[in-house]
Amino acid sequence: MQKLGEFKLPHFFNYPPYFTLQPVRDTREKQVQLWKELIIEYCRAQKVFIIGLEEDFPLFSNRAIERSLSHEARVAFLSALVSDGRAEWTDKGHKKCLILWHRIQEWADLIVHFVKENGLEDNVMTVEEIRSGTESRGTELYGIDRSVLMRALKLLEHKGKLVIFKGTSTDDEGVKFSL
């Protein structure tokens, strides 16, 4: 089994044509689908939130077979994720892509679950505590991208489940849950 870090790679990762953007429609559709799933799985497992197109993303190359995705291919697969609502371009130049292996709504649900699990319904926490505090260790929230967290929190705030306020110090914001 080939691995990328701790991540188990599928066997077709060694199939050279997998790394060439296929022109034939049906073949392309299948290829795109496989790549979309692979990207999501990898990002979820490695907790990768941002993929930089001009950086060396380990998933996009296979040194064993000496192949790597062209820029065009990377854009194609990421754009497909964006169309699915599972990713977003963070800049107009499409140089960085935010991967939502959980959609914002899913993150929001995870936050609610987390709060309930830890009996924090009436508590106040800082944003930073949510993403790196002791309670979140071992949960999916641990290490969440801050902007994603903020968006999820804002979504919940909009639903009246919590209130975000500026903290006393200049560095962090706080959240008061009212689930």
Residues found near other proteins in the complex (CB under 8 A): 1, 8, 10-12, 15-17, 19-20, 22-24, 26-27, 30-31, 33-34, 37, 66-67
Q: Nearest distance from residue 42's CB to other proteins, in Å? A: 13
Q: In this complex, which beta carbon is closest to other proteins, that of residue 35 or of residue 177?
A: 35
Instruction: Kindly give the interhelix angle for 25-46 and 71-84, rounded to the nearest 10 degrees.
Output: 80
Q: In this complex, which beta carbon is closest to other proteins, that of residue 29 or of residue 117?
A: 29
Q: Nearest distance from residue 52's CB to other proteins, in Å? A: 23
Q: Nearest distance from residue 36's CB to other proteins, in Å? A: 10
Report the 3 state secondary structure along the chain: CCEECCEECCHHHHCHHHHCCCCCHHHHHHHHHHHHHHHHHHHHHHCCCEEECCCCCHHHEECCCCEECCHHHHHHHHHHHHHHCCEEECCCCCCEEEECCCCHHHHHHHHHHHHHHCCCCCCEEEHHHHHHCCCCCCCCCCCCCHHHHHHHHHHHHHCCCEEEEECCCCCCEEEEECC
**Rounded Cα distance, 61 and 34, in Å:** 15
Q: Nearest distance from residue 34's CB to other proteins, in Å? A: 6
Q: In this complex, which beta carbon is closest to other proteins, that of residue 20 or of residue 147?
A: 20
Q: In this complex, which beta carbon is closest to other proteins, that of residue 35 or of residue 107?
A: 35
Q: In this complex, which beta carbon is closest to other proteins, that of residue 74 or of residue 161?
A: 74
* CA–CA–CA angle 89, 81, 72 (5° rounding): 75
Q: Nearest distance from residue 164's CB to other proteins, in Å? A: 39
Q: Nearest distance from residue 167's CB to other proteins, in Å? A: 45
Q: In this complex, which beta carbon is closest to other proteins, that of residue 67 or of residue 154?
A: 67
